[in-house]
Structure 1
Amino acid sequence: MTPASSPRVALFVTCLVDLIRPRIGFAALRALEAAGCEVVAPEGQTCCGQPALNSGDRDSAVALAKSTIAALEGHDHVVVPSGSCAATIREHYPELLADDPDWRERAVGLAERTWEVLAYLDEVRGWRPDTVCAATAVYHDSCSGLRELGIKTQPRRLLAGVDGLALVPLAGEETCCGFGGTFCVKYPAISNAIVEEKADAIEASGAELLLAGDLGCLMNMAGKLHRRGSKVRAFHAVELLAGMGDGSAIGEEG
Protein backbone atom coordinates (compact mmCIF):
# COMPACT_ATOMS: atom_id res chain seq x y z
CA MET A 1 0.00 0.00 0.00
CA THR A 2 1.19 3.51 -0.83
CA PRO A 3 -0.22 6.66 0.82
CA ALA A 4 -2.15 8.92 -1.55
CA SER A 5 0.04 11.97 -1.05
CA SER A 6 3.14 12.50 -3.20
CA PRO A 7 5.89 14.07 -1.11
CA ARG A 8 8.71 15.95 -2.79
CA VAL A 9 11.82 14.01 -1.81
CA ALA A 10 15.43 15.12 -2.12
CA LEU A 11 17.70 12.16 -2.83
CA PHE A 12 21.07 12.67 -1.14
CA VAL A 13 23.18 10.36 -3.28
CA THR A 14 26.33 10.08 -1.07
CA CYS A 15 29.94 10.15 -2.23
CA LEU A 16 30.46 6.40 -2.46
CA VAL A 17 27.28 5.82 -4.46
CA ASP A 18 28.10 8.68 -6.82
CA LEU A 19 31.70 7.60 -7.42
CA ILE A 20 31.61 3.82 -6.97
CA ARG A 21 28.10 2.46 -7.49
CA PRO A 22 25.69 4.96 -9.13
CA ARG A 23 23.36 2.03 -9.75
CA ILE A 24 22.29 2.27 -6.10
CA GLY A 25 21.20 5.86 -6.63
CA PHE A 26 19.09 4.88 -9.63
CA ALA A 27 17.63 1.96 -7.66
CA ALA A 28 16.68 4.31 -4.81
CA LEU A 29 15.08 6.66 -7.34
CA ARG A 30 13.07 3.82 -8.89
CA ALA A 31 11.88 2.51 -5.52
CA LEU A 32 10.93 5.96 -4.24
CA GLU A 33 8.97 6.74 -7.39
CA ALA A 34 7.23 3.36 -7.11
CA ALA A 35 6.31 4.39 -3.57
CA GLY A 36 4.59 7.49 -4.91
CA CYS A 37 7.29 10.12 -4.33
CA GLU A 38 8.37 13.00 -6.53
CA VAL A 39 12.16 12.68 -6.43
CA VAL A 40 14.82 15.28 -7.17
CA ALA A 41 18.60 15.14 -6.79
CA PRO A 42 19.52 18.68 -5.72
CA GLU A 43 22.54 20.26 -7.34
CA GLY A 44 25.26 21.37 -4.98
CA GLN A 45 25.18 18.28 -2.79
CA THR A 46 28.57 16.84 -1.95
CA CYS A 47 30.09 14.94 0.98
CA CYS A 48 28.01 15.02 4.18
CA GLY A 49 31.20 15.64 6.17
CA GLN A 50 31.30 12.30 7.96
CA PRO A 51 34.99 11.51 7.15
CA ALA A 52 36.07 14.92 8.42
CA LEU A 53 33.94 14.53 11.55
CA ASN A 54 35.32 11.05 12.27
CA SER A 55 38.88 12.30 11.78
CA GLY A 56 38.52 15.26 14.14
CA ASP A 57 38.50 17.95 11.45
CA ARG A 58 35.59 19.86 12.96
CA ASP A 59 36.00 22.99 10.85
CA SER A 60 35.67 21.03 7.61
CA ALA A 61 32.77 19.03 9.01
CA VAL A 62 30.92 22.23 9.95
CA ALA A 63 31.52 23.76 6.50
CA LEU A 64 30.22 20.63 4.77
CA ALA A 65 27.22 20.45 7.09
CA LYS A 66 26.24 24.03 6.20
CA SER A 67 26.71 23.34 2.50
CA THR A 68 24.58 20.21 2.69
CA ILE A 69 21.82 21.91 4.66
CA ALA A 70 21.66 24.72 2.10
CA ALA A 71 21.47 22.22 -0.77
CA LEU A 72 18.76 20.01 0.75
CA GLU A 73 16.38 22.49 2.39
CA GLY A 74 13.01 23.10 0.81
CA HIS A 75 11.88 19.49 0.38
CA ASP A 76 9.34 17.45 2.28
CA HIS A 77 11.89 14.77 3.07
CA VAL A 78 15.54 13.94 2.43
CA VAL A 79 16.24 10.28 1.70
CA VAL A 80 19.70 8.70 1.83
CA PRO A 81 20.81 5.22 0.66
CA SER A 82 23.26 5.00 3.56
CA GLY A 83 22.69 4.64 7.27
CA SER A 84 25.99 6.31 8.13
CA CYS A 85 25.38 9.42 6.01
CA ALA A 86 21.76 9.66 7.17
CA ALA A 87 22.94 9.39 10.77
CA THR A 88 25.47 12.16 10.21
CA ILE A 89 22.71 14.51 9.06
CA ARG A 90 20.13 13.43 11.62
CA GLU A 91 22.24 12.90 14.71
CA HIS A 92 25.41 14.97 14.28
CA TYR A 93 24.50 18.13 12.35
CA PRO A 94 22.53 19.59 15.29
CA GLU A 95 25.49 18.84 17.57
CA LEU A 96 28.02 20.34 15.18
CA LEU A 97 26.02 23.55 14.85
CA ALA A 98 24.74 23.77 18.42
CA ASP A 99 26.62 27.04 19.12
CA ASP A 100 25.19 28.84 16.08
CA PRO A 101 21.48 29.52 16.76
CA ASP A 102 20.48 30.17 13.15
CA TRP A 103 22.31 27.18 11.70
CA ARG A 104 21.29 24.93 14.58
CA GLU A 105 17.63 25.61 13.87
CA ARG A 106 18.17 24.80 10.19
CA ALA A 107 20.13 21.66 11.11
CA VAL A 108 17.38 20.42 13.41
CA GLY A 109 14.76 21.11 10.76
CA LEU A 110 16.67 19.10 8.18
CA ALA A 111 17.44 16.31 10.65
CA GLU A 112 13.75 15.86 11.39
CA ARG A 113 13.01 15.39 7.68
CA THR A 114 15.94 13.06 6.85
CA TRP A 115 15.54 9.30 6.48
CA GLU A 116 17.62 6.32 5.45
CA VAL A 117 16.01 4.91 2.30
CA LEU A 118 14.92 1.50 3.63
CA ALA A 119 13.41 2.98 6.78
CA TYR A 120 11.66 5.63 4.70
CA LEU A 121 10.13 3.15 2.27
CA ASP A 122 8.90 0.96 5.12
CA GLU A 123 7.96 3.36 7.92
CA VAL A 124 6.90 6.49 6.08
CA ARG A 125 5.54 5.22 2.79
CA GLY A 126 4.33 1.78 3.87
CA TRP A 127 5.57 0.51 0.51
CA ARG A 128 6.09 -3.09 -0.52
CA PRO A 129 8.03 -4.19 -3.61
CA ASP A 130 6.61 -6.00 -6.62
CA THR A 131 9.80 -7.74 -7.70
CA VAL A 132 11.18 -11.25 -8.09
CA CYS A 133 14.57 -12.67 -7.06
CA ALA A 134 14.85 -16.43 -6.67
CA ALA A 135 17.83 -16.69 -4.31
CA THR A 136 18.92 -17.18 -0.72
CA ALA A 137 20.41 -14.16 1.03
CA VAL A 138 21.85 -12.91 4.30
CA TYR A 139 21.44 -9.37 5.61
CA HIS A 140 24.22 -7.50 7.42
CA ASP A 141 23.17 -4.72 9.81
CA SER A 142 25.52 -1.78 9.41
CA CYS A 143 26.70 -0.13 12.62
CA SER A 144 25.39 3.39 12.01
CA GLY A 145 22.02 2.30 10.68
CA LEU A 146 21.47 -0.15 13.52
CA ARG A 147 22.89 1.75 16.47
CA GLU A 148 22.18 5.38 15.56
CA LEU A 149 18.95 5.06 13.57
CA GLY A 150 17.39 1.83 14.87
CA ILE A 151 17.24 0.19 11.44
CA LYS A 152 16.72 -3.54 11.93
CA THR A 153 13.27 -4.82 11.07
CA GLN A 154 12.54 -2.34 8.27
CA PRO A 155 14.79 -3.84 5.57
CA ARG A 156 13.68 -7.34 6.49
CA ARG A 157 10.00 -6.41 6.14
CA LEU A 158 10.71 -4.94 2.72
CA LEU A 159 12.80 -7.90 1.55
CA ALA A 160 10.08 -10.30 2.68
CA GLY A 161 8.01 -8.86 -0.17
CA VAL A 162 10.51 -9.89 -2.86
CA ASP A 163 9.03 -12.97 -4.50
CA GLY A 164 11.37 -15.96 -4.33
CA LEU A 165 13.90 -14.38 -1.95
CA ALA A 166 14.69 -16.39 1.18
CA LEU A 167 16.59 -14.69 4.00
CA VAL A 168 18.71 -17.13 5.99
CA PRO A 169 20.39 -16.53 9.37
CA LEU A 170 23.80 -14.85 9.49
CA ALA A 171 25.93 -15.41 12.57
CA GLY A 172 27.02 -12.05 13.95
CA GLU A 173 24.72 -10.08 11.66
CA GLU A 174 24.94 -7.10 14.04
CA THR A 175 28.73 -7.27 14.34
CA CYS A 176 30.86 -4.62 12.60
CA CYS A 177 32.31 -5.67 9.23
CA GLY A 178 35.56 -3.83 9.94
CA PHE A 179 35.07 -0.97 7.47
CA GLY A 180 34.22 1.89 9.81
CA GLY A 181 35.02 4.62 7.28
CA THR A 182 38.51 5.86 8.05
CA PHE A 183 38.96 3.07 10.64
CA CYS A 184 39.98 0.60 7.93
CA VAL A 185 42.67 3.04 6.78
CA LYS A 186 44.02 3.83 10.24
CA TYR A 187 43.91 0.24 11.53
CA PRO A 188 44.15 -2.05 8.49
CA ALA A 189 45.29 -5.16 10.37
CA ILE A 190 42.37 -4.98 12.82
CA SER A 191 39.95 -4.18 10.01
CA ASN A 192 41.16 -7.14 7.98
CA ALA A 193 40.79 -9.52 10.93
CA ILE A 194 37.23 -8.36 11.53
CA VAL A 195 36.15 -8.71 7.90
CA GLU A 196 37.81 -12.13 7.73
CA GLU A 197 35.49 -13.34 10.47
CA LYS A 198 32.54 -11.73 8.73
CA ALA A 199 33.40 -13.48 5.45
CA ASP A 200 33.63 -16.81 7.30
CA ALA A 201 30.12 -16.31 8.66
CA ILE A 202 28.70 -15.26 5.29
CA GLU A 203 30.11 -18.30 3.51
CA ALA A 204 29.05 -20.63 6.33
CA SER A 205 25.44 -19.45 5.89
CA GLY A 206 25.28 -21.01 2.43
CA ALA A 207 23.61 -17.88 1.04
CA GLU A 208 24.00 -16.82 -2.57
CA LEU A 209 23.60 -13.10 -1.89
CA LEU A 210 24.92 -10.64 0.68
CA LEU A 211 22.64 -7.65 1.29
CA ALA A 212 23.08 -4.52 3.39
CA GLY A 213 22.12 -0.85 3.46
CA ASP A 214 25.55 0.79 3.35
CA LEU A 215 27.87 0.65 0.34
CA GLY A 216 30.99 1.07 2.47
CA CYS A 217 30.22 -2.12 4.39
CA LEU A 218 29.31 -3.94 1.20
CA MET A 219 32.52 -2.90 -0.57
CA ASN A 220 34.57 -4.12 2.37
CA MET A 221 32.84 -7.48 2.66
CA ALA A 222 32.56 -8.05 -1.10
CA GLY A 223 36.25 -7.28 -1.53
CA LYS A 224 37.23 -9.88 1.06
CA LEU A 225 34.84 -12.47 -0.38
CA HIS A 226 36.13 -11.96 -3.91
CA ARG A 227 39.75 -12.24 -2.82
CA ARG A 228 38.87 -15.59 -1.24
CA GLY A 229 37.26 -16.78 -4.47
CA SER A 230 33.77 -16.83 -2.96
CA LYS A 231 30.72 -17.07 -5.22
CA VAL A 232 28.60 -14.94 -2.87
CA ARG A 233 27.42 -11.77 -4.66
CA ALA A 234 26.82 -8.46 -2.86
CA PHE A 235 24.05 -5.93 -3.47
CA HIS A 236 22.57 -2.95 -1.68
CA ALA A 237 19.11 -4.07 -0.53
CA VAL A 238 17.42 -1.27 -2.48
CA GLU A 239 18.77 -2.76 -5.72
CA LEU A 240 16.77 -5.94 -5.16
CA LEU A 241 13.72 -4.01 -4.00
CA ALA A 242 13.80 -1.95 -7.19
CA GLY A 243 14.17 -5.05 -9.39
CA MET A 244 17.82 -4.29 -10.21
CA GLY A 245 19.44 -7.33 -8.67
CA ASP A 246 20.12 -9.08 -11.96
CA GLY A 247 23.20 -7.12 -13.05
CA SER A 248 26.80 -6.95 -11.89
CA ALA A 249 27.21 -7.30 -8.15
CA ILE A 250 29.33 -4.94 -6.08
CA GLY A 251 32.97 -5.45 -6.94
CA GLU A 252 32.21 -7.20 -10.27
CA GLU A 253 32.04 -4.08 -12.45
CA GLY A 254 34.67 -3.79 -15.15
Structure 2
Amino acid sequence: MDVSLFIPCFIDQLYPVTAFNTVRVLEKAGCKVNYNPAQTCCGQPAYNAGFWDEAKGIGHKFLQDFEASTYIVSPSASCTGMVKNAYNDLFTNSMVHNQCRSIQASIHELSDFLINILKKDYFGAELEGRAVYHDSCSALRECKIKEEPRQLLSKVDGLEVIEMRDQDTCCGFGGTFSVKFSAISSAMAEQKVNNALAVGAEYIISTDASCLLHLQAYIDKQQLPIKTMHLADVLANGWGNV
Protein backbone atom coordinates (compact mmCIF):
# COMPACT_ATOMS: atom_id res chain seq x y z
CA MET A 1 0.00 0.00 0.00
CA ASP A 2 1.28 3.46 -0.91
CA VAL A 3 1.09 6.02 1.90
CA SER A 4 2.09 9.67 2.13
CA LEU A 5 4.02 10.59 5.25
CA PHE A 6 3.26 13.83 7.07
CA ILE A 7 5.99 14.77 9.52
CA PRO A 8 4.96 17.79 11.61
CA CYS A 9 7.46 20.64 11.92
CA PHE A 10 7.79 19.89 15.65
CA ILE A 11 9.04 16.37 14.99
CA ASP A 12 11.09 17.42 11.98
CA GLN A 13 13.06 19.94 14.04
CA LEU A 14 13.27 18.26 17.45
CA TYR A 15 12.63 14.52 17.06
CA PRO A 16 13.87 13.41 13.62
CA VAL A 17 14.55 9.88 14.92
CA THR A 18 10.81 9.53 15.57
CA ALA A 19 10.18 10.44 11.93
CA PHE A 20 12.61 7.80 10.70
CA ASN A 21 11.13 5.21 13.05
CA THR A 22 7.68 5.98 11.68
CA VAL A 23 9.00 5.14 8.21
CA ARG A 24 10.56 1.93 9.53
CA VAL A 25 7.31 0.81 11.17
CA LEU A 26 5.23 1.59 8.10
CA GLU A 27 7.66 -0.24 5.83
CA LYS A 28 7.65 -3.23 8.14
CA ALA A 29 3.86 -3.17 7.88
CA GLY A 30 4.23 -3.54 4.09
CA CYS A 31 3.74 0.07 3.04
CA LYS A 32 5.60 2.03 0.40
CA VAL A 33 6.21 5.36 2.09
CA ASN A 34 6.27 8.57 0.03
CA TYR A 35 7.52 11.84 1.47
CA ASN A 36 6.97 15.23 -0.11
CA PRO A 37 9.90 17.44 0.98
CA ALA A 38 7.88 20.57 0.23
CA GLN A 39 5.64 19.96 3.25
CA THR A 40 6.00 22.23 6.26
CA CYS A 41 3.33 22.80 8.91
CA CYS A 42 -0.39 22.15 9.34
CA GLY A 43 -0.96 25.64 10.76
CA GLN A 44 -1.82 24.60 14.30
CA PRO A 45 0.45 27.08 16.17
CA ALA A 46 -1.07 30.05 14.36
CA TYR A 47 -4.60 28.65 14.67
CA ASN A 48 -4.33 28.06 18.43
CA ALA A 49 -2.88 31.54 18.94
CA GLY A 50 -5.88 33.10 17.19
CA PHE A 51 -4.17 34.02 13.92
CA TRP A 52 -6.66 32.30 11.66
CA ASP A 53 -5.73 34.16 8.49
CA GLU A 54 -2.13 33.01 8.83
CA ALA A 55 -3.29 29.50 9.71
CA LYS A 56 -5.47 29.44 6.62
CA GLY A 57 -2.49 30.32 4.42
CA ILE A 58 -0.42 27.50 5.91
CA GLY A 59 -3.36 25.12 5.74
CA HIS A 60 -3.93 25.94 2.09
CA LYS A 61 -0.32 24.95 1.37
CA PHE A 62 -0.89 21.70 3.27
CA LEU A 63 -3.84 20.88 1.03
CA GLN A 64 -1.63 21.44 -2.02
CA ASP A 65 1.22 19.31 -0.67
CA PHE A 66 -0.87 16.16 -0.24
CA GLU A 67 -3.15 14.07 -2.42
CA ALA A 68 -6.36 12.56 -1.12
CA SER A 69 -5.94 9.55 -3.40
CA THR A 70 -3.57 7.87 -0.92
CA TYR A 71 -3.62 7.51 2.85
CA ILE A 72 -1.76 10.27 4.71
CA VAL A 73 -0.13 9.01 7.92
CA SER A 74 1.36 11.12 10.69
CA PRO A 75 3.08 10.30 14.02
CA SER A 76 1.15 13.14 15.65
CA ALA A 77 -2.42 13.02 16.90
CA SER A 78 -2.25 16.75 17.53
CA CYS A 79 -1.53 17.70 13.93
CA THR A 80 -3.86 15.02 12.59
CA GLY A 81 -6.60 16.43 14.79
CA MET A 82 -5.86 19.91 13.49
CA VAL A 83 -6.46 18.82 9.91
CA LYS A 84 -9.48 16.66 10.71
CA ASN A 85 -11.26 19.23 12.85
CA ALA A 86 -9.90 22.79 12.80
CA TYR A 87 -9.75 22.86 9.01
CA ASN A 88 -13.56 22.95 9.18
CA ASP A 89 -13.24 26.45 10.65
CA LEU A 90 -10.79 27.52 7.97
CA PHE A 91 -12.13 26.00 4.76
CA THR A 92 -15.85 25.20 5.07
CA ASN A 93 -17.74 26.73 2.12
CA SER A 94 -14.48 27.96 0.60
CA MET A 95 -13.14 27.24 -2.89
CA VAL A 96 -11.18 24.27 -1.50
CA HIS A 97 -14.09 22.89 0.55
CA ASN A 98 -14.29 19.55 -1.30
CA GLN A 99 -10.53 19.15 -1.49
CA CYS A 100 -10.32 19.75 2.25
CA ARG A 101 -12.97 17.13 2.99
CA SER A 102 -11.12 14.58 0.90
CA ILE A 103 -7.84 15.25 2.69
CA GLN A 104 -9.58 15.06 6.06
CA ALA A 105 -10.91 11.61 5.19
CA SER A 106 -7.46 10.43 4.07
CA ILE A 107 -5.30 11.51 7.02
CA HIS A 108 -4.70 9.16 9.95
CA GLU A 109 -2.57 9.17 13.07
CA LEU A 110 -0.05 6.29 13.09
CA SER A 111 -1.74 3.96 15.61
CA ASP A 112 -5.15 4.54 14.06
CA PHE A 113 -3.75 3.64 10.64
CA LEU A 114 -1.93 0.51 11.83
CA ILE A 115 -4.88 -0.89 13.77
CA ASN A 116 -7.96 0.26 11.89
CA ILE A 117 -6.69 0.38 8.30
CA LEU A 118 -3.87 -2.17 8.09
CA LYS A 119 -5.23 -4.40 10.88
CA LYS A 120 -1.70 -5.02 12.18
CA ASP A 121 -0.51 -4.79 15.76
CA TYR A 122 2.72 -6.81 16.04
CA PHE A 123 6.07 -5.51 14.80
CA GLY A 124 8.59 -7.54 16.78
CA ALA A 125 9.37 -4.65 19.12
CA GLU A 126 11.11 -5.22 22.44
CA LEU A 127 11.29 -2.94 25.47
CA GLU A 128 11.93 -4.15 29.00
CA GLY A 129 10.13 -2.29 31.74
CA ARG A 130 6.88 -0.89 33.03
CA ALA A 131 5.10 1.94 31.23
CA VAL A 132 2.02 4.12 31.31
CA TYR A 133 0.33 5.45 28.21
CA HIS A 134 -0.53 9.16 28.22
CA ASP A 135 -3.78 9.93 26.42
CA SER A 136 -3.04 13.26 24.78
CA CYS A 137 -5.98 15.64 24.52
CA SER A 138 -5.79 15.62 20.72
CA ALA A 139 -5.62 11.84 20.42
CA LEU A 140 -8.48 11.18 22.79
CA ARG A 141 -10.82 14.04 21.99
CA GLU A 142 -10.05 15.04 18.41
CA CYS A 143 -8.95 11.74 16.84
CA LYS A 144 -11.02 9.43 19.10
CA ILE A 145 -7.96 7.25 19.71
CA LYS A 146 -7.79 5.28 22.95
CA GLU A 147 -7.46 1.53 22.53
CA GLU A 148 -5.31 1.58 19.39
CA PRO A 149 -2.00 2.59 21.06
CA ARG A 150 -2.68 0.25 23.97
CA GLN A 151 -3.25 -2.67 21.61
CA LEU A 152 0.06 -1.96 19.89
CA LEU A 153 1.91 -1.63 23.18
CA SER A 154 0.43 -4.88 24.48
CA LYS A 155 2.35 -6.70 21.73
CA VAL A 156 5.75 -5.22 22.66
CA ASP A 157 7.88 -7.99 24.20
CA GLY A 158 9.01 -7.28 27.75
CA LEU A 159 6.78 -4.23 28.24
CA GLU A 160 4.16 -4.08 30.98
CA VAL A 161 1.60 -1.35 30.39
CA ILE A 162 -0.37 -0.19 33.41
CA GLU A 163 -2.97 2.49 34.01
CA MET A 164 -2.37 5.52 36.19
CA ARG A 165 -4.55 7.99 38.01
CA ASP A 166 -6.17 10.72 35.89
CA GLN A 167 -5.15 8.83 32.77
CA ASP A 168 -6.88 11.21 30.36
CA THR A 169 -6.02 14.50 32.08
CA CYS A 170 -4.02 17.07 30.10
CA CYS A 171 -0.25 17.12 30.65
CA GLY A 172 -0.20 20.91 30.66
CA PHE A 173 1.56 21.62 27.36
CA GLY A 174 -1.25 23.01 25.23
CA GLY A 175 1.07 24.84 22.83
CA THR A 176 1.15 28.54 23.72
CA PHE A 177 -0.67 27.70 26.98
CA SER A 178 2.63 26.47 28.44
CA VAL A 179 4.16 29.87 27.69
CA LYS A 180 1.29 32.11 28.76
CA PHE A 181 0.46 30.12 31.89
CA SER A 182 3.78 28.50 32.72
CA ALA A 183 3.09 27.98 36.43
CA ILE A 184 -0.17 26.13 35.78
CA SER A 185 1.44 24.21 32.93
CA SER A 186 4.34 23.06 35.12
CA ALA A 187 1.99 22.01 37.90
CA MET A 188 0.00 19.88 35.45
CA ALA A 189 3.20 18.23 34.23
CA GLU A 190 4.21 17.55 37.83
CA GLN A 191 0.87 15.88 38.50
CA LYS A 192 1.10 13.69 35.39
CA VAL A 193 4.66 12.56 36.12
CA ASN A 194 3.92 11.91 39.79
CA ASN A 195 0.93 9.78 38.82
CA ALA A 196 3.18 7.72 36.57
CA LEU A 197 5.82 7.33 39.27
CA ALA A 198 3.16 6.31 41.80
CA VAL A 199 2.47 3.12 39.85
CA GLY A 200 6.14 2.35 39.34
CA ALA A 201 6.33 3.33 35.67
CA GLU A 202 9.72 3.63 34.00
CA TYR A 203 8.33 5.09 30.78
CA ILE A 204 5.60 7.51 29.74
CA ILE A 205 4.53 6.73 26.17
CA SER A 206 2.31 8.84 23.93
CA THR A 207 1.38 9.64 20.33
CA ASP A 208 2.35 13.30 20.71
CA ALA A 209 5.95 14.49 20.84
CA SER A 210 4.87 17.90 22.13
CA CYS A 211 3.37 16.36 25.29
CA LEU A 212 6.48 14.24 25.73
CA LEU A 213 8.80 17.24 25.36
CA HIS A 214 6.87 19.05 28.07
CA LEU A 215 6.92 16.08 30.44
CA GLN A 216 10.57 15.25 29.75
CA ALA A 217 11.57 18.84 30.57
CA TYR A 218 9.97 18.49 34.00
CA ILE A 219 11.55 15.04 34.48
CA ASP A 220 15.00 16.37 33.58
CA LYS A 221 14.69 19.40 35.83
CA GLN A 222 13.69 17.25 38.79
CA GLN A 223 16.12 14.44 37.85
CA LEU A 224 13.44 11.78 38.18
CA PRO A 225 13.89 8.05 37.37
CA ILE A 226 11.50 7.93 34.41
CA LYS A 227 11.67 8.82 30.71
CA THR A 228 9.30 9.58 27.86
CA MET A 229 9.05 7.72 24.54
CA HIS A 230 7.01 8.26 21.41
CA LEU A 231 4.89 5.32 20.30
CA ALA A 232 6.76 5.06 16.98
CA ASP A 233 10.08 4.80 18.83
CA VAL A 234 8.72 2.00 21.00
CA LEU A 235 7.37 0.05 18.02
CA ALA A 236 10.78 0.24 16.30
CA ASN A 237 12.75 -0.59 19.44
CA GLY A 238 14.72 -3.80 19.69
CA TRP A 239 15.09 -4.45 15.96
CA GLY A 240 18.81 -3.73 15.90
CA ASN A 241 20.44 -1.62 13.21
CA VAL A 242 18.67 -1.94 9.85
C-alpha root-mean-square deviation of aligned residues, in Å? 1.6
Q: Which moved more, 1:107-116 or 1:223-232?
A: 223-232
* 1: CA distance, partners of 2:229 / 2:18: 9
Note if 1:149 corresponds to 2:149.
Answer: no
CA 1:245–1:61 in 2, change beyond 3 Å: closer, same or farther? farther
Note if 1:114 corresponds to 2:107.
Answer: yes
Note if 1:224 corresponds to 2:215.
Answer: no
Which residue of 63, 72, 75 maps to 2:57?
A: 63
Q: How does 1:94-105 map to 2 (within 5 A)?
A: 94-100=88-94, 102-105=95-98
Cα offset, 1:157, TM superposition: 0.4
- Structure 1 portions without partners, runs of 5+: 1-5, 248-254
Q: Which residue of 1 aligns with 2:167?
A: 173
* 1: CA distance, partners of 2:68 / 2:195: 44
TM-score by length of 2: 0.95
Cα offset, 1:18, TM superposition: 0.4
Q: How does 1:201-220 map to 2 (within 5 A)?
A: 201-220=195-214
Note if 1:184 corresponds to 2:186.
Answer: no
Residue type matched to 1:22 in 2? P
Give the count of matched residue pairs: 240
Secondary structure class of the residue paired with 2:140: helix
* 2: CA distance, partners of 1:244 / 1:173: 27
Q: Which residue of 2 aligns with 1:24?
A: 18
Give the percent of matched residue pairs that are identical in Structure 1 and Structure 2: 35
CA 1:146–1:246 in 2, change beyond 3 Å: closer, same or farther? farther
* 1: CA distance, partners of 2:104 / 2:79: 11
* 2: CA distance, partners of 1:239 / 1:43: 22
Structure 1 residues 69-91: Cα deviation after superposition (integer angstroms, max 9, x where no partner)? 10011541111111110011111
* 2: CA distance, partners of 1:209 / 1:245: 19
Residue type matched to 1:166 in 2? E
* 2: CA distance, partners of 1:133 / 1:162: 7
Q: Which residue of 2 aligns with 1:46?
A: 40
Residue type matched to 2:223 in 1? G
* 2: CA distance, partners of 1:80 / 1:58: 23
* 2: CA distance, partners of 1:189 / 1:36: 45
Residue type matched to 1:95 in 2? D
Q: How does 1:63-102 map to 2 (within 5 A)?
A: 63-73=57-67, 75-100=69-94, 102=95
- Structure 2 portions without partners, runs of 5+: none
